Structure formats: C-alpha cells, structure tokens
Amino acid sequence: MDVQQLFSARGRAGADPELAIILAGPPPGTLGMTGGFPNASTFPSEELTEIATRLVTDEPGLALQYGPSAGLPSFREYLVARTAKLQGREPASDELMVTSGGMECIDLLCRSLLDPGDDVAVEAPTYLGAIMAFKDYGAVQTGVPMDADGIDVDAFAERLASGYRPKFLYTIPEFQNPSGRTMTLERRRALVDVCRSHGVLIVEDVAYKELSFDGTQLPSLWSLGPDVVVQAGTFSKIFCPGTRLGWAVGPAALIAQLASAKGGTDQCAGALSQRLVEEYGRAGLFGKRLPHTRALYESHWVALSAALTRHMPEGVSWSEPTGGMFTWLRMPEGLDSRALRPAATQAGVAYVPGAPFYVEAGGANEMRLSYSSLGEVQLGEAAERLAGVIEAALVTAAR
Amino acid sequence: MDVQQLFSARGRAGADPELAIILAGPPPGTLGMTGGFPNASTFPSEELTEIATRLVTDEPGLALQYGPSAGLPSFREYLVARTAKLQGREPASDELMVTSGGMECIDLLCRSLLDPGDDVAVEAPTYLGAIMAFKDYGAVQTGVPMDADGIDVDAFAERLASGYRPKFLYTIPEFQNPSGRTMTLERRRALVDVCRSHGVLIVEDVAYKELSFDGTQLPSLWSLGPDVVVQAGTFSKIFCPGTRLGWAVGPAALIAQLASAKGGTDQCAGALSQRLVEEYGRAGLFGKRLPHTRALYESHWVALSAALTRHMPEGVSWSEPTGGMFTWLRMPEGLDSRALRPAATQAGVAYVPGAPFYVEAGGANEMRLSYSSLGEVQLGEAAERLAGVIEAALVTAAR
C-alpha cells in the first residue's frame, strides 16, 4: 500500500521544512542563533523538584488524571488572578482557558474560526508556526507592513476601508517573533479601534510580553479591547517549554468553542504541568525568577548588539529589541540569506533565513538572530563569523 | 462584536455534548460508571517522585526544553524496543513517533488523511472521541457491525467487494471502548488480509491492549500487517493520563507526515513527560506495576458482573470483557438510556448512554458501564441502583 496516495490535501501540501530545521537544532559545530528556545539556565529546576515531589505524593488523583478540556478549575482561577494583576483587567472565569502551549492555542483558534478560503491578516514578517497553521487551514494570508513601532495600523485601516475583511489579524505586540519590534501604545489603541469598528477579531500572541529588559509592560491589546481581542499566552518562555502550557483569554463564546475543540485534539492539557505552574506561581516564584531571566537576555543582547556594531559591514542593519529573544538583521539588497546558509554553516554560525517569515514575497536579504541560547562570548564570536560570511558575499556580489 | 458569527463551519457544528459531560465527571451524589478514567490508585506516584526529582535536577536542559516533533530520540528508542518486546515485531526507528496521548494521534491521522467527504469505517459502536474527530474533519462515517468476537469482518469484506472504499477503518481490537469486546485472532488475520487486498488502511487503537485480566495479549494488527496498519497507543491507561503521552507506529511515510502535522499543533509532546515514562519503563516498572493494575480491574469486573447477575431484571444483557474498563449493557427494546438518565441521577448512579457511540441510528437501549473508578462495594451498589431504575422503567413501559 502506498500510504502517500491516501494523504489529504493538507497532508500532501506538507509543512514548511524551515520549522523542522529549527526544531532539529543548529547544525553540529555551529554557534546557533536559530530557535526561539529559552535559555535552559532560566528553568526553575530546583523549585520544580520540591513542587513535583509534593504534587505527585499528595494528589496523584488530580495531578496525574485527566482533567476538564478548559483546564483544572484551581489553575484557571490562578490564571484569572494573574491576568488581572499583570494586565490590569480581570477576565471572567469563562473568558479564560488552559492550552497546551501557545501554538496549540493558535491551532484551536484556526479550527474554530477558519474555513478554507478565509482571509487572515498577519504582520510582515511574522511567526513561522502561525503562518504554517493558517496555511494548513486553507486561509488566504495577507501581510501588513511593520516598522520599528510595530504594525502599520494606517496601512491596515486603509485596506479595511477599501473592503478587505479578514477573519482576524494575528499580531505579536512585544519583541515580535521574528523582528524583535514592539508595538507602541498609540498603535495599540488605534489598532483596537480600527478592528472594533470593522468587526475584525484580533489574535494577540503575548509569548514574549513578560520578557522586557526593564521589567515594564505596555497594556495588552486584550486589556484595551476585551470585546475584539483573543489573547494567546504561553509558559514556554517564562517557565519552561517542557511542560507544554499556555492560555487563551477572550470573549466567553469563543473560549467555550476553543475548549470544545480541544476535546477533539489532546482532550486536556497535562494536569501535572498545570498544577506545577499553579503552585510555582502561587508561591510567588515568577516574580522572584523573572528579573534574572530578563537580565540574562538583556546581557545577551548587549553583547550581540556590540559585536554586530563592531563587525558588520556597512549596509547591514538590525532591529533594536527592548526585550525578548530576537533581532532582525537586514543585509544589502541582492544578498540571499537562504543561499548563504551553507557558507554560514561552514563558518560555524547558524541563523534562520528571512523569507519564510513572510506570507508574500520578501525577506530574502533578511534573517532572524536569536540571542537566547548562546552566552555573551559565543554571541560575539557568532556575530563575527556571520559578518565574515556577509562580507565575503558582498565581495563576490561586487565582482 | 458577535464572535459566534466568525465561527468556522466546524466551530458552528460544535462537539457532541456527551464528551463534555463525561469529562466533567459524574453528577455529584452519584456512583459514576461514566468515564474511561483509569483508577488513580494505579498511578505510580512513589516511583514518579524519585524519577521526577532526578530528571528536573540532572537534565533541565533536556526535560524542560522543547524537543523534536517526533519525540525525544532516547524515548523513541525505548519505545521501539518496548514495541518489539510486547508485539513481537520491531518497528524501524522512522516507523514510530511520540504523540500527546492517543486522541492526539487520531487527530494527527485525521489531519494527514482526511479531506471533507472522505469515507471512514468504524466499529458499531465505537469510541465517542474518534467519532467526533472524524466528523470534525468532514468524514462520512459508516458503522461496521460487531459481535462478541469483535468486528464482523465478513460484513466489512462484503461492503468492500461491492465498491465501498473508506480511507481507513478505525478499530479498537481489545476490550473495546465502549463494548468491552475483543477481536479474535482469526478475525485479526482476516481483517488484515481483506484490508490489504482492497488498499484500506487500518487505524488500530490499542489503548486498553495491556490491560487483559490474565496478562496475555493477542498479536496486534500492526504486527500482523505493518504495511497496512498504523497503531495509536497511549500511556494514559497503563501509566497515567496527566502526562499526556502516546505513540504512533506505522509506515514510515505516514509517521513522517504525522510528525510534520504535529509541528502545527502542540509542536512536541512534553519532554518532561517523555523522560518520565522512559525512565519508568527502563527501570522495569511497567512489568512490576501492571499485574496489580490488571488485578484491580479484574476484581472490579468480578464484583460488577456478580451484581449485574444478581440484580438486573430479565431481558437485560451485557458483554463479558476479559480486560479493560468497560461492559456494554443492553436493555429490552423500547427503553431509552438517554431518557432514563434523570431517573438514574435521582437514584444515584451514572453511566454513558449508548446512542452517541453509533455513527448511524442505534444504541438507544444500550449503555456503557465503566468499572475502573468505583471499588467493588460501590460497583455492587451502583448495579443495584441501576437495576432499580431499569426495572421501574420496564414497569412503566408495560402499563
């Protein structure tokens, strides 16, 4: 039997190979600035040991059992309070649910909202996993331009005024993946207004929100427009990815639908993970640990930024993140980050090419650099190696 | 904004409310024979405490980090060896992957194989979660009759001979959910032959396979026909559900596609859970603990079986499981298990009505009884209460 003959249309279309490359990790022998993997030194292993021991011993019937699709009641209560505290607005208990990470939340949203042919607006560039998910559900994706202040709301408003009606706009307001940019407060307000008046739902991905270098946070889009925003959050970057946990906050009818859809995928997020994060949070450990995490990434960025400034040839520019894990590097027109990859591997450095982050043409001369995993010295070395690769390509191009 | 107006066709269709009722647990004050929840006393909490402590302390960079979509290499190796030992056939390393539970495996199969309008064959009755998943992907489902020996292969062969061509047949060969029936070895061989000759893929759900009362196992369909079978397994019933882990074994091209699809849902199963199960298994703890689990469920069944025999009125019959968690009870024609639910709740007993387990009409006078959660004495009491409800209904019907 040739099983490939049995594949569905979406099975035949397959996934963007770039994601598999990222998840497989950087090639051996290279300094990897590829994945959005959090730095393992930020994982709360000591605290977890104590909590896990307690949970598994004291409440196996809860922590090791199936749970409701929307999440364990006590964990949802904790998340409601946490959201109220961090975002200045308290969701009702039926406006919040637990997901198996941020990406699963996006998948549940796709299931619940997208029919083939529906329009989805995304930032240009945006998160590769989201692009793949929307494509997988047959959506027609349109890129909305960005600048250093985040998404270009005027450009989006113009499109809407001319009749464009996406089911939703997907945005990552803070330290965006891949660009490292943050949407200003003015833009946030304008975006909520525009979307509200045109009936466009906003899907707000806050994966990096709590990772500002200085510990401050701008108001979430959800807090500004709870009627038109559904927020997807994750504990992968502020706790650890290995527990696969996230949340969705949004209009109650949509949350109910997402929970119902979850009954048909993994049925429920892992109860042990939920109780781990809940106990960790209730003990005040996020507040204790996050400052260290932020300081770590800031020190990484400072090192990378300095090395880029020192080594990069003229005509190369990059974004200036104020948090998170990414900067977005642009080479002179004509250079192609995909074509340069073999030379980079040869030189012992790895990045993610820019083109896959765009739903339309573009990004060939751009690339995403992650500074989460490598230490300061390694980042300096990686920047120097990358600069050498780009310089050599410029010399070749000039011939 | 009315978000419900934005729902996709599948969002508007919604899920079968029965699943939510099951996941929410039995009504307060009732003796619940509803969910397929494993008995919490079978959870290996002591062993887990030791393993979790070690993992979190020694290898946070692995156990708490993202991992490959197909699963952590060491865990996959362990699963390959485990499958070889238990099923007498060793999958190649690219014929096995890790999933976030058995239900997620079914979802990945749907994504990879089903276009709207495709045919899927299922046992009549079959697992409610699978029915929902297939429906969610727009499949046209056909029920294949069963008897005490499992699926009626001759009936299925006849349909195939007359031109019927489902994308796949979904079957639960052991202690089937909901019927408690087990497919005989003869039927297994015949089913593989028939499907092979007609090019029909078999999706084999082995959720309960290792829970025979006497510890024996019939050959898996996958071991009999690795070219035409993809097997979905889960650790929810033999370890615990709270870690959300399962596996898929099947043709390499299909496994590669499932792993690719997983990149768009939860990206990877929880690494901590994977390492927990791996260490648990490598320490030989499945072999140590499963005999106790089997003995527990057998003692439950013996108690329930005796109570049913003692209390049920004439005309009521039930299946005789040799493992697993379920028996399937049939009342005289004319009684309706859904209609009887309020009376049952009133009497302090809960079950799952039979009709939702059928893709076509049927099952109104049937119900699923789970004996996993309640103890022996409670099961006796539950059976007596249920018998009272049925008897009262028979009296009313006879008027």
Any domain includes A347: yes
B258 touches chain A (CB under 8 A): no
Return the residue matching tokens 């607005």. Answer: A89
Interface residue A95 vs chain B (CB under 8 A)? no
The tens digit of pLDDT for each residue in B331-346 reads 999 999 999 999 999 9
- What is the band of B139 on the pLDDT scale with cuts at 50, 70, 90? very high
Residues spanned by the domain of B197: 45-286
Most confident option among A13-17, A34-38, B309-313: B309-313
Interface predicted TM-score of the whole assembly (ipTM), two decimals: 0.90
The answer to whether the beta carbons of residues B42 and A64 sit under 8 Å apart is no
Do residues B22 and B83 both lie within one domain? no
Domain-terminating residue out of B255, B286, B317: B286
Q: Does B196 touch chain A (CB under 8 A)?
A: yes
Residue A284 confidence (pLDDT) = 95
Asked if A252 and A302 sit in the same domain, the reply is no
B52/A20 Cβ within 8 A: no
| Interchain CB contact of A168 with B (< 8 Å) | yes
pLDDT grade, residue A33 (50/70/90)?
Answer: very high
Q: Which chain B residues are closer than 8 Å to A240 by Cβ? A: 60, 64-65
Binding-face residues of A in 38-77 toward B, CB within 8 A: 38, 40, 43, 45-46, 48-49, 52-53, 56-57, 60-61, 63-69
How many domains does chain B contain in total? 2
Q: Would the pLDDT of B17 be above 80?
A: no
For residue A350, the domain's CATH number is 3.90.1150.10
> Looking at residues B93-118, what average pLDDT do you find?
96
Nearest by CB: B56 against A49, A132, A250: A49
pLDDT, one tens digit per residue, over B201-217 is 999 999 999 999 999 99
Flag whether A316 is in a domain.
yes
pLDDT of residue B18 exceeding 90, the answer is no
**Mean pLDDT along residues B81-95:** 98
pLDDT at A266 over 90: no
pLDDT in tens, A82-139: 999 999 999 999 999 999 999 999 999 999 999 999 999 999 999 999 999 999 999 9
In this prediction, residue B180 has a pLDDT band, given cuts at 50, 70 and 90, of: very high
| pLDDT score, position A119 | 97
Record: contact A263-B35, CB cut-off 8 A: no
Reported confidence tier of residue B261, pLDDT bands at 50, 70, 90: very high
Domain boundary among A285, A310, A344: A285
Q: Which residues of B touch A45 (CB under 8 A)?
A: 56-57, 60, 64
A73 plus A126 within the same structural domain: yes
For residue B20, pLDDT over 80 is answered with no
pLDDT band at B219 (very low <50, low <70, confident <90, very high): very high
Pairs from A215-220 (Cβ < 8 Å, separation ≥ 24): A215/A290, A215/A291, A215/A294, A217/A86, A217/A174, A218/A173, A218/A174, A218/A182, A218/A183, A218/A184, A218/A185, A218/A188, A219/A87, A219/A88, A219/A185, A219/A188, A220/A87, A220/A173
Paired residues of B45 in beta bridges: none
What rounded mean pLDDT belongs to chain A? Answer: 95
Residue A126, domain CATH: 3.40.640.10
Verify that A375 and A343 share a domain, yes or no: yes
List phi, psi (to 5°) of B2: -95, 95
pLDDT tier for residue B310 given thresholds of 50, 70 and 90: very high
Check residue B283 and give its pLDDT. 96
| Start-to-end C-alpha separation, chain A | 53
Shortest alpha-carbon distance between residue B183 and chain A (Å): 23
Mean pLDDT score across all residues of chain B: 95
Above 80 in pLDDT, residue A15?
no
Domain contains A292: yes
Please check the confidence at residue A366 and state whether its pLDDT lies above 90.
yes
A70 and A206 share one domain? yes
Which pLDDT score, from 0 to 100, does residue A20 have?
73
Which residue among A24, A64, A133 sits closest to B240, beta carbon to beta carbon?
A64
| Among A239, A255, A285, residue at a domain's last position | A285
In DSSP terms, A121 is beta-bridged to A142, A169
Smallest CA-to-CA distance from A243 within A20, A32, A377, A63 is with: A63
Chain B environment of A11 (Cβ under 8 Å): 111-113, 257, 261
Cis peptide before A26 (omega within 30 of 0): no
Percent with pLDDT over 70 in chain A: 100
Identify whether residues B271 and B303 lie together within a single domain.
no
A350 in a domain, yes or no?
yes
Residue A10 included in any domain: no
Q: What is the pLDDT of residue A22?
A: 75
Residue whose C-alpha is closest to residue B301's, from B334, B329, B323, B272: B323
Q: What is the pLDDT of residue A112?
A: 96
Examine the domain organization and report whether B93 and B226 are in the same domain: yes
Q: Same domain, yes or no, for B69 and B198? A: yes
- Band (pLDDT 50/70/90 cuts) for residue A10 is confident
Q: Does A268 touch chain B (CB under 8 A)?
A: yes
A292 band by pLDDT with thresholds 50, 70 and 90:
very high
Whether A227 contacts chain B with CB within 8 A: yes
- Nearest by CB: B228 against A1, A101, A227: A1
Query: Of B136, B107, B141, nearest to B124 (Cα)?
Result: B141
Residue A162 in contact with partner chain B when CB distance is under 8 A: no
Residue B159 is classified by DSSP as: H
Asked if residue A46 has pLDDT above 90, the reply is: no
CA distance A7 to A163: 36
Nearest CA in chain B to A258: B11
Question: What number is the average pLDDT over the span A256-269?
Answer: 90
What pLDDT, on a 0 to 100 scale, did the predictor assign at position B47? 87
User: CA A22 to CA A162: how far, in whole Å?
Assistant: 38
pLDDT per residue as tens digits for the range B372-386: 999 999 999 999 999
- Asked if A211 and A124 sit in the same domain, the reply is yes
Confidence of residue B19 (pLDDT cuts 50, 70, 90): confident
Q: What is the DSSP string of B315-350?
A: T-EE---SBSSEEEEEPPTT--TTTTHHHHHHHTEE
Q: Which residue from A minimizes the CA distance to B39? A: A61
Residue A179 covered by a domain: yes
> Which pLDDT tens digit goes with each residue over A314-343?
999 999 999 999 999 999 999 999 999 999
pLDDT at B323 over 80: yes
Q: Taking CB atoms and an 8 Å limit, are B244 and A270 in contact across chains?
A: yes
A138 part of contact set with chain B, CB < 8 Å: no
By the CB < 8 Å criterion, does A139 face chain B?
A: no
A1 falls in which pLDDT band (50, 70, 90)?
A: confident
Q: Are residues B238 and B276 in the same domain?
A: yes
Task: Report how many Cβ contacts below 8 Å link chain A to chain B.
Answer: 259
Residues B239, B183, single domain; the answer is yes
| Segment (H or E) for B63 | helix B60-63
Tell me which chain A residue has its CA closest to the CA of residue B226: A1
The residue to which tokens 């593989």 are assigned:
B192
Q: Is the domain of B153 the same as that of B252?
A: yes
Taking alpha carbons only, the member of A173, A243, A240, A184 closest to residue A208 is: A173
